[in-house]
Structure 1
Amino acid sequence: MNELLPADAAAHGAPSYVQEVLEFLTVEGFRPFIDEDGDVLFKFEGSTYGVLVGHGDPSFLNLMYLPFWTLDDAAERARAHEAAAYVQGRMKVGRILVLADSVAADVTCYLPSDDAWRAVLFRHLGGLQALVGEFRRQMRA
């Protein structure tokens, strides 16, 4: 992953939305960077999150909790599907994504304006943490 400073985003052809996300997170005390797909990644409380901006529409927020659980075999994958179904049936904040060899989570939503993502980003971040925490509890039960 190539780390870019927020001031460098425009110089590398990044859309203004990417620049806005980088600046916002930097002001809030994070050290965001752009990955090879052009998405903005940042660390929060030891985990990596991403604002996926490839769609280029700032009124559509896709906040992802990057893979947080590895799947070692088919039995664990089946347990992960069961835990994901259980958690998503009780918490409507986002989705648990059971991938081929890991598990991630995300929140996606359409917003009323291009800058509304600023008002909901931290609330969704907290929601993702709660979702993932409950998934982990179910997997360890």
Structure 2
Amino acid sequence: MKTTDRGLRCTAVLIRSNPDCEDSEMPSMFKTCTMTAVTFAMLLAFIASPCRAQDKAALSSEKPVTWTKEALQQSHMEFLKSEGYSPRVDEDGDVAFKFEGRTYYLLIAEDDPNLMRLAYPNFWSLENEDERQRAQVAALKATKDTKVAKVFLTDKNTWAMVSLFLAEPDDFHPVFSRCLSALRLSVNTFADTMRGN
């Protein structure tokens, strides 16, 4: 509610609460209360405006991080090195690293830096249509049975991936090991299903 609205309501309450007030006094009382309310509103606006200006100045002086492709690559590389991996940037610009003999990728999406995708591509080739049909069932089972991770088919191969939306691109660091475990579990579930285990 605006302060001037409060002033008008205050005036109405004062007039209603004073039934002995003569009609000739009402305009004067109304004018006094309204002027008081307007003055109070102007005082509040005067006090608040420097604060708002200072807040805007403080916000404009902060330089936001620009997550370019190179900045994302560098951030992922530094994190993986701190975790004991030996990452590299591949020919597509994604960050690759090995874990237990398998090559995983942190896929770079410069147009959507808040999207984190941890991928294990091409882990099961599809030789024929019969295998493809069985792989579709296995992929659905692996995706259903594993939190966050999903398994899907490409033309002649199979991928596993964990995808997360993040407030900041490096917010996945605390949950990275869990994402990697989920990815491995989805791959193992797929393979077990394909082998009939």
TM-score with structure 2 setting the length: 0.61
Q: 1:92 and 2:147 equivalent?
A: yes
Q: Which runs of 5 or more structure 1 residues have no equivalent in the other structure?
A: 1-12
Q: Which has the higher contact order (CA 8 A, sep 6+)?
A: 1
Larger gyration radius, structure 1 or structure 2: 2
Q: Report how far residue 27 of structure 1 moved.
A: 2.1
- Number of aligned positions between the proteins: 129
Once the two structures are aligned, what percentage of the paired residues are identical? Answer: 37
Q: Structure 1 residue 87: deviation in Å? A: 2.1
2:115 matches 1:60? yes
**Contact 2:148 2:163 (8 Å CA) reproduced:** no
Root-mean-square deviation over aligned CA pairs: 1.7
Which one has the bigger strand percentage? 1
Aligned equivalents of 2:144, 2:173: Cα separation in 1: 28
How far, CA to CA, are the matches of 1:70 and 1:109 in structure 2?
26
Q: Distance in 2 between matches of 1:121 and 1:75?
A: 35
Between the aligned partners of 2:168 and 2:125, the Cα distance in structure 1 is 36
Is the aligned partner of 1:112 residue 2:174?
A: no
Cα deviation code 1:59-95 (max 9, x no counterpart): 3211101211111111111110011112222223211
Compute the displacement of 1:128 (Å): 0.2
Contact map agreement 2:142 2:150 (CA 8 A) in 1: no
Instruction: Work out the CA distance in 1 between the residues paired with 2:185 and 2:144.
Output: 14
Query: How many Å separate the matches in 1 of 2:72 and 2:175?
Result: 16
One-letter code of the match for 2:182? G
Are the aligned partners of 1:31 and 1:42 in contact in 2 as well (CA < 8 Å)? yes
Which protein is richer in helix relative to its size?
A: 2
